[in-house]
């Protein structure tokens, strides 16, 4: 399959990870790329470089050890600030700069940044011109379809962006006022795709390989961007790539593979943020993993109450060790062959599994290594 090109960069896949503040930090980006995401954009960083000394911005600007294209997203409304931030990000070694005109958060929109900018096309023009002329690396843009249903100017913004030199466009198919609720407007994304020649990535509510295929067909987009669907199952990218290219649905990772993926993810979070913040960030990700694992409620309950990195690793190891020994493994194996519409859904817990659990828990406890 032909994959899109962004400036000099030929993407390895047309399935991208969406930027998500508080979530798409370097450990999660690397994980998603490891499972086949063609590009993974950072969480948004303010264009006000005076704020970059804050710990939050420092974490968002980490580019060392990125296992693929380094893409930093900036949010701001002052063309001069955008220009300075773009230059500084290029100086940090980024491959691509992404401009955020999609975020609906009140905190961001109050400053007329994120999706609020879609209300002021002249300002959009100035911001994009400032960014593109400041750097020699590609600048991409992420938008919504407009401010509200009465002002769906996504196609006009897209055409303007292309004429200014924006290298690719991601479109969350909702207006700002629709937040995350209304149906995604595939027809508006299709209209945008028809208006411009740069790569267009359709975004919004894609959670399965089959949905990705439908969105690509309905919109004619060059690729899709996945946000919430990847949380707790970064291997979704493998499944989507496989479905689109070979019409095959691969098994999700085995219990042991999931254990190792999650343990490595947790360790990377502890390392990036330090143990205090790392433990808190890890709780979020672990909770999403648990949403895809039948019978993980007690484990999650205990995990999110732990305050030490070592304890988080230990309890995770122990849980998966138990899972491996019990019928949960069989449940997961069966779920891999589940219905196409719900690519990966653990089956409801069975009485047999519950009965066998206590006996096997004791056995697992004796065999578990110590992380402290
Ligand atoms: C928690 C959260 C944080 C987000 N942060 C950003 C962000 O920093 N920059 C951005 O452009 N979009 C952000 N978004 C929007 C997503 O990139 C994406 O457009 C949206 O979630 C719709 O895609 P999805 O249905 O696949 O999640 C965020 C969304 C969520 C849920």
Per-residue pLDDT of the chain (372 residues; tens, 9 = 90+): 689 999 999 999 999 999 999 999 999 999 999 999 999 999 999 999 999 988 888 888 888 889 999 999 999 999 999 999 999 999 999 999 999 997 766 666 566 667 788 889 999 999 999 999 999 999 999 999 998 888 889 999 999 999 999 999 999 999 887 888 889 999 999 999 999 999 999 999 999 999 999 999 999 999 999 999 999 999 999 999 999 999 999 999 999 999 999 999 999 999 999 999 999 999 999 999 999 998 899 999 999 999 999 999 999 999 998 888 775 556 555 555 443 334 444 333 333 444 445 544 544 444 455 554
Helical residues (DSSP H) of the chain, grouped into ranges: 26-34, 55-60, 79-91, 106-109, 121-134, 154-164, 186-195, 209-219, 236-246, 255-291, 297-303, 309-325, 327-336, 351-367
Report the atom number in ligand 1 closest to the C-alpha of 229. Answer: 26
Rounded distance between C-alpha atoms, residue 147 and residue 116, angstroms: 7
Q: How far apart are the first and last CA of the chain?
A: 47
Here the tokens at position 279 are: 């433990």
Asked if residue 243 lies in contact with residue 210, where contact means CB atoms within 8 angstroms, the answer is yes
Asked if residue 45 lies in contact with residue 75, where contact means CB atoms within 8 angstroms, the answer is yes
**Could you tell me if the CB of 229 is within 6 A of ligand 1?**
yes
Asked if residue 252 lies in contact with residue 344, where contact means CB atoms within 8 angstroms, the answer is yes
**Could you tell me if the CB of 172 is within 6 A of ligand 1?**
yes
Can 103 be counted among the known catalytic residues?
yes
Ligand 1 centroid vs 22 CA: distance in angstroms?
A: 10
Ligand 1 centroid vs 318 CA: distance in angstroms?
A: 33
Ligand 1 centroid vs 173 CA: distance in angstroms?
A: 12
pTM score: 0.88
Here the tokens at position 326 are: 């019990």
State whether residue 352 is helix, strand or coil: helix
**Could you tell me if the CB of 206 is within 6 A of ligand 1?**
yes
State whether residue 302 is helix, strand or coil: helix
Domains located in the chain, CATH noted: 5-246 (3.20.20.70), 255-367 (no CATH)
Four-residue CA torsion sign, 268, 272, 274, 279: negative
**Residue 318 CB-half CA count within 13 A:** 19
**Could you tell me if the CB of 176 is within 6 A of ligand 1?**
no
Here the tokens at position 338 are: 């589940």
């Amino acid at each position: 399959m032909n994959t899109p090109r962004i400036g000099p960069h030929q993407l390895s896949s047309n399935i991208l990870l969406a930027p998500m503040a508080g979530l798409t930090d370097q450990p999660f980006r690397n994980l998603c790329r490891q499972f086949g995401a063609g590009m993974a954009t950072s969480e948004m960083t303010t264009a006000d470089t005076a704020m970059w000394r804050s710990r939050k911005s420092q974490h968002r600007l980490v580019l060392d050890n990125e296992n693929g294209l380094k893409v930093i997203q900036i949010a701001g409304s002052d063309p001069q600030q955008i220009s300075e931030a773009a230059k500084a990000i290029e100086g940090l070694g980024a491959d691509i700069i992404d401009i955020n005109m999609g975020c609906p958060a009140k905190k961001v929109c109050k400053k007329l940044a994120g999706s609020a900018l879609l209300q002021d096309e002249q300002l959009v023009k100035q911001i994009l011109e400032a960014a593109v002329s400041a750097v020699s690396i590609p600048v991409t843009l992420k938008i919504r379809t407009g401010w509200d249903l009465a002002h769906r100017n996504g196609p006009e913004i897209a055409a303007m962006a292309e004429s200014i030199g924006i290298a690719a466009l991601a479109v969350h198919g909702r207006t700002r006022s629709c937040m995350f609720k209304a149906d995604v407007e595939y027809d508006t994304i299709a209209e945008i795709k028809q208006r411009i020649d740069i790569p267009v990535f359709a975004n919004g509510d894609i959670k399965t390989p089959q949905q990705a295929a439908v969105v690509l067909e309905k919109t004619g987009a060059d690729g899709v961007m996945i946000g919430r669907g990847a949380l707790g199952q970064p291997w979704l990218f493998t499944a989507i790539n496989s479905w689109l290219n070979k019409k095959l649905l691969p098994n999700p990772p085995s219990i042991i593979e999931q254990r190792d993926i999650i343990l490595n993810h947790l360790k990377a979070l502890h390392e990036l943020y330090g143990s205090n913040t790392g433990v808190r960030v890890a709780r979020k990700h672990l909770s999403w993993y648990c949403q895809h694992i039948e019978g993980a409620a007690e484990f999650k309950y205990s995990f999110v109450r732990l305050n030490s990195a070592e304890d988080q690793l230990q309890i995770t190891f122990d849980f998966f060790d138990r899972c491996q020994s019990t019928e949960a493994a069989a449940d997961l194996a069966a779920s891999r062959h589940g219905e196409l519409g719900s690519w990966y859904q653990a089956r409801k817990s069975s009485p047999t599994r519950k009965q066998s659990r206590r006996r096997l828990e004791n056995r697992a406890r004796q065999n578990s290594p110590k992380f402290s």
